[in-house]
Amino acid sequence: MTDDRAALRAAIEPGVGLCTISAIEGSFSRRLGAQLAVHPDGSVTGSLADGCLERQLAAEVLAGGERRVMRFGAGSPLIDFRLPCGSGLDILIDPNPDRAAARAAADLLDMRQEATLALPLGPLAQRHYIPALRLVLFGEGPELEALALLGCAAGLEVESHSKDGALALGKPPGNIGIDRWSAVILLFHDHEWEQAILQWALATPAFFIGAQGGRTAREERAERLLASGVEQSQIARVASPIGVVQHSREPMALALSILAAVAGEYEAIHPHHG
């Protein structure tokens, strides 16, 4: 669970306050809408900076009072508090957020649906949440194992399907739901396994579809898909070579390269990207 979704979930509990970045002047290390939950004992869920801002916000939440928007950093009347990046932040401090609305949003995310939370003050009218990045992997060997391991270590949702498992040659995978926040990755050396899986994947709203393989494998893959009636515009959805490093030959290096590419695509479609 990312910091923001964890903060949202924490805000369901009585006595927990919620802080939301509602405007950013200059550059900052967190996105617009980033959130931090403050518990009654002063501990926090989530992060917004290097610890100093978190402590200041915790003090503001624990001080109670009405919900309010406060300026931190550049342009703030708090002359003793500065942000190291020199930016200015408007942060909504809500000691008593709408807990029913927070629960409803969290429940939608648990069902892998988008959700929003109305913000009562400030220039950001609502916080828009998207489901967690999900990796749906198909393949064989150490490349599959490395990417599954790395994805799990990163806290992502990972489903791994091997040709030694329930997959059947020439048949699409069954009982796997794909949404627009899922990435489908094929890591086969035996490329004849790709055809049915790719045709299935291209019929889904997956935000990323990728397959490993050299130039010959890519050309033959495209020819097979064209011959089966898949349009060229759909074939172009298949990222190959896959990853930010075009010629990774070590399984973990390939996994890092793929995960970086997928995370970049996911970040680009985030509603609060920027």
Pair 113, 180: CB distance under 8 Å: no
More confident residue, 246 or 1: 246
Sequence spans of domains, the chain: 3-129, 134-268
CA distances (Å), origin 14, targets 37, 75, 100, 118, 230: 12, 33, 11, 18, 53
pTM: 0.87
Report the pLDDT value the prediction gives residue 45, as an integer from 0 to 100: 95
For the domain made up of 134-268, give the CATH fold: Rossmann fold (3.40.50)
In terms of Cα–Cα distance, which of 113, 108, 53 is closest to 84?
53
* pLDDT tens track for 195-229: 999 999 999 999 999 999 888 988 999 999 999 99
Please provide the average confidence, as pLDDT, over all residues in the chain: 91
Which two tokens mark 129?
Answer: 């949440």
Percent of the chain scored above 90 by pLDDT? 69
pLDDT of residue 2: 62
Q: Which residues lie below 8 Å from residue 40, measured CB to CB, with a gap of 6+?
A: 15, 16, 62
How far lies 41's CA from each of 48, 141, 213, in Å?
19, 48, 53
When pLDDT is averaged across residues 46-54 and rounded to a whole number, the result is 83
pLDDT above 80 (res 84): no
The pLDDT assigned to 4 comes to 78
Q: What is the pLDDT of residues 236-245, one digit of tens each?
A: 999 998 988 8
Among all chains, which residue has been given the structure tokens 């959700």? 115
Question: Whole-angstrom Cα distance, residue 213 to residue 193?
Answer: 13
Query: Residue 273 — very low, low, confident or very high, per pLDDT cuts 50/70/90?
Result: low
Lowest mean pLDDT among 27-31, 63-67, 112-116: 27-31
Which residues contact residue 213 at a Cβ distance below 8 angstroms, ignoring those fewer than 6 apart?
Answer: 188, 191, 221, 240, 241
112 Ramachandran zone, left/alpha/beta (phi>0; psi -120 to 50): left
